[in-house]
Amino acid sequence: MKFKTCFSGAFIALMLAVTPMKGMGETYEADVIVYGPNSAGVAAAIQAIRMGNTVILVGPDKHLGGLTAGGLVWTDSGRKEVVGGFAREFYRRLKDYYDQPEAWKFQKPEEYERYRPEDDAMWVFEPHVAEREYEKLIAENDIPVHRERWLDRKDGVVVRDGAIQSIRMLNGDVYEGKIFIDATYEGDLMAEAGVSFTVGRESNSMYGETLNGVQTENATKHQFKTPVDPYVVPGDSSSGLLPRIHDGGPGEEGEGDHRVQAYCFRMSLTQVPENRVPFEEPEGYDPMQYELLARYFATGSEFSEPEDFFKKYDPVPNDKTDTNNRGGFSTDNIGMNY
């Protein structure tokens, strides 16, 4: 009996040692907790600390900057003179970087038309340069960043009297603060705090609008120019639809639905041989996922050449590109968000 008791106790102790348990992480406290280290999160953290608050920036990402440091660098800046505050500070820092000769490793600055020495800001840039500036800003302001921390979406948000008291990550770390900012793209913290939200497109009738909901009449770009057979076996509806095709029509004009805008793969590409990394076939590659695109190429219609669907090569410094979606089947991951 003693042997069995000792063995059971040792077994339980071993299980406790190797099994992660909620609440076993560290507890951190600051005036402001910013969840999501993308551009908005970095801006919020820096502004908060400049206003005299203590701040912790926490989130699931390894890298700072979100989309800005992840490939979307052909900035839709519009009326640049109205851009101010932290945003303009960031773009000015980018300009300071590109004013240095050593920044131009694969291209001369005079060869890049969007670099203008007389400008005070740089609106198009390389992703890694954006991340570099965010890292410098965080270091200059002495803001702690806790990376790869995922919010426990099941029961990791404590709300009392309409205010968040603390949040817990999946690894058990707890963050307590006076103010919590959800700077993520997905809004998980906001949702778990009980804030009302909508996923999808509301109908025109809900708020008396004209450009909400289903908009087939305005869907004139990025469409197939000629029909493509949608069935796995061409002409045989019993064979089922090809991947990425949804059964049924888009719905009534102006009608609400559950669909949301597609995420897009923004790729930083180059033709400079010594600066290229080859594309490798991904694990689990399934050619059928691209059969629809292959069939459209086979039609031989206008804009049906492979380069037409991947020809949104916006130039960025050092002979690179911000490669964007173009056409009915391109780098948008259509339909995978709902």
Q: What is the pLDDT of residues 224-235, one digit of tens each?
A: 888 999 999 999
- Closest of 320, 322, 292, 296 to residue 308, by C-alpha: 296
Own/partner long-range contacts of 239-248 (Cβ < 8 Å, ≥24 apart): 242/288, 242/291, 242/292, 243/286, 243/288, 243/289, 243/291, 243/292, 244/289, 244/292, 244/329, 244/334, 244/335, 245/292, 246/335
In-domain check, residue 199? no
Distance CA 295, CA 297 (A): 5
Q: Do 296 and 181 fall within a single domain?
A: no
Q: Do 166 and 216 fall within a single domain?
A: no
Q: Do 264 and 293 fall within a single domain?
A: yes
What is the structure's pLDDT at 273? 96
What is the structure's pLDDT at 14? 40
Are the beta carbons of 322 and 314 closer than 8 angstroms?
yes
Q: Are strands 55-58 and 145-146 parallel, antiparallel or unpaired?
A: parallel
pLDDT interval class at 179 (50, 70, 90): very high
Are the beta carbons of 189 and 157 closer than 8 angstroms?
yes
What is the structure's pLDDT at 17? 39
In-domain check, residue 5? no
HSE toward the beta carbon, residue 32, CA cutoff 13 A: 22
What is the structure's pLDDT at 22? 52
Q: What is the pLDDT of residues 275-296, one digit of tens each?
A: 999 999 999 999 999 999 999 8
What is the structure's pLDDT at 194? 95
In-domain check, residue 15? no
In-domain check, residue 39? yes
Tell me how many domains the chain contains.
2
What is the structure's pLDDT at 304? 63
In-domain check, residue 260? yes
Q: Do 133 and 54 fall within a single domain?
A: yes
Question: Which CATH number covers residue 117?
Answer: 3.50.50.60
Q: What is the pLDDT of residues 317-336, one digit of tens each?
A: 999 999 998 888 888 988 88
pLDDT interval class at 306 (50, 70, 90): low
In-domain check, residue 21? no
Whether the predicted pLDDT of 7 surpasses 50: no
In-domain check, residue 99? yes
Whether the predicted pLDDT of 127 surpasses 90: yes
What is the structure's pLDDT at 116? 96
The pLDDT mean for the chain works out to 90
Q: Do 90 and 230 fall within a single domain?
A: no
What is the structure's pLDDT at 112? 97
What is the structure's pLDDT at 65? 97
Q: Do 231 and 112 fall within a single domain?
A: no
In-domain check, residue 203? no
- Domain with 217, as residue range(s), is 208-247+254-338
